[in-house]
Amino acid sequence: MSLSLGVIGLGRMAKVILQGLFDKGKFKPEEVLAIVGQPESISRAVLQFSKKLSVLDAKDLDSYKVWDAPVKILAVKPQQLNQIREKISSETKFTQESRPLLISVLAGIKL
């Protein structure tokens, strides 16, 4: 199964959104790649959802793959946005044709 959804930040809000998407059958855990800032968050997320859900630490070398998903949910704390921007600009090149969908749940931030 291919990657359909990337989740950057897996806090409370992202977990609620994911649970709703899974409950409605919009995505399956094996279609999702989530990136977390703390390694201990990985085991909690896998326990809550499924062992099929791919969860990586932001420092993992493969974490850049989250940006390959056609749909992304950006669910980090607003103060983490600059760090995410730096990471995106150094690892990801979007073309005019790709135009990925980015859903942001950052409070008080315009993208």
Tell me whether residue 79 is exposed, middle or buried, using C-beta atoms within 10 angstroms of its C-beta: 0 to 12, 13 to 18, 19 or more.
exposed
Distance (Å, rounded) from C-alpha 26 to C-alpha 37?
Answer: 25
pLDDT of residue 107: 73
Q: From CA 13, how far away is CA 74, in angstroms rounded?
A: 10
pLDDT in tens, 36-56: 988 899 999 999 988 899 999
pTM score:
0.82
- Reported as a single tens digit per residue, the pLDDT across 53-89 is 999 999 999 998 998 899 999 998 777 776 776 666 6
Instruction: Give yes or no for residue 27 having a pLDDT over 90.
Output: yes
